[in-house]
Amino acid sequence: MKILTILIFSGDRFDVKDLLKDISLLSHPNTNVRVVEWSENKEILFKKNKIYSFFKKKIKNFKVYYQKGNWEYKYAKFINKFRSKYILVIGDDDRLNLKNFKNIYKYLGYNFSGITLSFRNYKKRKDIKIKDKYSQDKIRTFDIFTDINRIGYTSCQIINVKLLKTILKSEKKYLLKTKFPQNFLIMKMIKKFNNWKVLDLNCIFNRIGSFNDFWIKENLLIRLKSEYLGYFIPIKKYYSNLSSDKIKKIYTHIFFNNIISWLFLSLKHFGKTKTFKNIQKERKILKEPLLVKLILLLIYISPIFLLNILRVFRRKFLLKL
């Protein structure tokens, strides 16, 4: 049994070639590499199969699976399919910070329930060559109040497969609810095993970029809604024992680190009425902190051109809360 499975979901794009190149250079013998290919475009598939054939010669323990269906369905189907001690699900447009990524294997010898890796965003290939000045090879205990927003980054979660199996059956019904199926699993594992770690070493280059009109039309409102569903339902489910003040602290941290940026993007493309109507029910999952309520009211009554000022205010002050 291998110590780590790297599981890649890939569709109608060719970015997976760069990621597979990273993995081939990693050349770690104790690693499985699995690709779930969901493209149905024959021309794209023909070209991608050439890529996969090439890397099957470069990467040991490499297999490709072909599976239709949405992201949540594929995640639920494949997260428990492979035999290894840990599994890492990574997007095909993300990259490995090879020098740092190699250091994770020394931590995989421990029986942690999981590890949240640190990352740095990139837009262009040249960005991944910049050195990480503040990245530290230091592992620490997960802090529910300051780290919870980080579990939403799918490509940064190394999950203990054996422990995952003990909770997967009872939690599987929740995995199709949002764009963040891993949040339900990870929060349950953190609560049950109390042995989740955070590695303060940038191991992943997380791809960010512009969204095309089709993606915005089909996905943006769903994504904003999922930010609420994917964090606040499992908090309500697993951490209802916390005091109201502690829940408010967690809520505020997630709102200003995750939700508000998607809110601004939705306002830009869909306007105030449609955006706020979209999250009307989701805002009631947990009791909304007064600060969040006031900020949302301010956003709603402010002219659109003033939202840029609120964005600056968020970056300089609110993210420090």
pLDDT in tens, 155-194: 999 999 999 999 998 888 889 989 999 999 999 999 999 9
Q: Is the pTM of this model over 0.85?
A: yes
Per-residue confidence band for 208, with pLDDT thresholds at 50, 70 and 90: confident
Cα torsion 266, 150, 287, 177: sign: positive
Contacts 24+ apart (CB under 8 A), 318-321: 318/256, 318/260, 319/256, 319/257, 321/252, 321/253, 321/256, 321/291
Max intra-chain CA distance, the chain: 59
Q: Among 169, 192, 189, 3, which Cα is nearest to 86's?
A: 3
Q: Please tell me the predicted confidence (pLDDT) of residue 134.
A: 59
Q: In the prediction, which pLDDT does 220 show? A: 94
Task: Tell me the average pLDDT across 20-39.
Answer: 95
* Structure confidence at residue 132 as a pLDDT band (50, 70, 90): low
Residue 88: strand, helix, or coil: strand
pLDDT tier, 133 (very low <50, low <70, confident <90, very high otherwise): low
What SS3 state is found at 306? helix
| pLDDT score at 166 | 94
Spatial separation of the C-alpha atoms in residues 95 and 205, rounded to whole Å? 5
Lowest mean pLDDT among 134-143, 172-181, 208-217, 306-315: 306-315
Give the three-state DSSP class for 13. coil
Most confidently predicted of 25-29, 287-291, 300-304: 287-291
- Arch. (CATH architecture) of 2-207: Alpha-Beta Complex (3.90)
The answer to whether residue 130 scores a pLDDT higher than 70 is no
Residues 213-268: tens digit of each pLDDT: 767 888 999 999 999 999 999 999 999 999 999 999 999 999 999 999 899 889 98
What phi and psi values does residue 193 have, to the nearest 5 degrees?
Answer: -105, -20
- 263-301 pLDDT, tens digit each: 988 998 999 999 999 999 999 999 999 999 999 998 898
Regarding beta strands 62-66 and 139-141, do their DSSP bridges make them parallel or antiparallel, or are they unpaired? unpaired
pLDDT at position 303 is 79
Contacts of 142 (CB under 8 A, 6+ apart): 116, 190, 196, 197, 198
Under DSSP, is residue 303 helix (H, G, I), strand (E, B) or coil? coil
Q: Is the pLDDT of residue 315 over 60?
A: no
Condensed to tens digits (0 to 9), the pLDDT of residues 66-116 reads 999 889 999 999 999 999 999 999 999 999 999 999 999 999 999 999 999
What are the residue boundaries of the structural domains of the chain, listed by start?
A: 2-207, 213-320
